Structure 1
Amino acid sequence: MPRVLVTGMSGTGKSTALTLLAARGHHTVDTDTDEWSEWSGDDWIWRSGRITELLTTTPDVFVAGCKSNQGRFYPLFDHIVLLSAPAAVLLARVETRTTNPYGKTPADRAEILTNLATVEPLLRATATAEIDATQPAAEVARRLEALTTMR
């Protein structure tokens, strides 16, 4: 199985997809924790040493995250998958989720919309695949899992 990066805006279902993939027996890493990410000024970035170690020693893994420094690790991934959904879907999801407080405040919601307009096009330009995240979560996970047979 290859190394797969699952990226996208807040509310696309990255964590949900990883939960489903883990339940199916896949090794998954959600990088939105202190173990994998750290603050650099106002930016929440990947811990370079930890991510490099993971990707150079673990041949089969789904990694989820959206960090400003993730591009420097792209050569270590076999697939870079963008999960995408319209703004209304993202905002509805972050409003109702209980697993992450991000997206509840007006400032967070404005940041999500700004990132959708400015960051998502950059992710799309470098992605090797894009999955419509308005589909049921099980279908998103199935499509991600299908990448494990491709290199």
Structure 2
Amino acid sequence: MMLEQVLRHLNNWFLVDIHEGTFTVENGSIALPFLLTNQYFRICGSVFNDGLHQYPAADLTDETFTGTVWALAVPKAVVVLAEDIAAWQEKNGEAVASPYQSESFGGYSYAKRSAGSDGSALNGWQNAFRDRLNDWRKLKGVEP
């Protein structure tokens, strides 16, 4: 899920509250009365379900776990940004991941800008969307 990658990259989960305890996933869903419909939440400490979900989630793996559920308030603008990044990644991801840095044929040539030997540091979605991502970035160590 691109949104989870974006939030991790930003070091910003838009945390509202952390609920600790023992939680049960039954028939693929979990009852979390402190969440609203369509609200994002993050599970930590589960064997099967760690990660970002949207409430009510119906695709979870049944289990009982002791851990935390983070209630999040992800702004719509960040969700749209993640959708834009996913579309960009779909269109450009293969070319960006290519090990080739330059190519020439028929009088045409190009070279990818690179910071190192693989170029990924400067050519991925993180660079393509740097300006929009920076608006939401948090410093390391600010949130759990």
TM-score (structure 1 length as normaliser): 0.26
Structure having the higher helix fraction is 1
Q: Does 1 or 2 have the higher relative contact order (CA < 8 Å, sep 6+)?
A: 1
- Quick check: which has more Rg, 1 or 2? 2
TM-score (structure 2 length as normaliser): 0.27
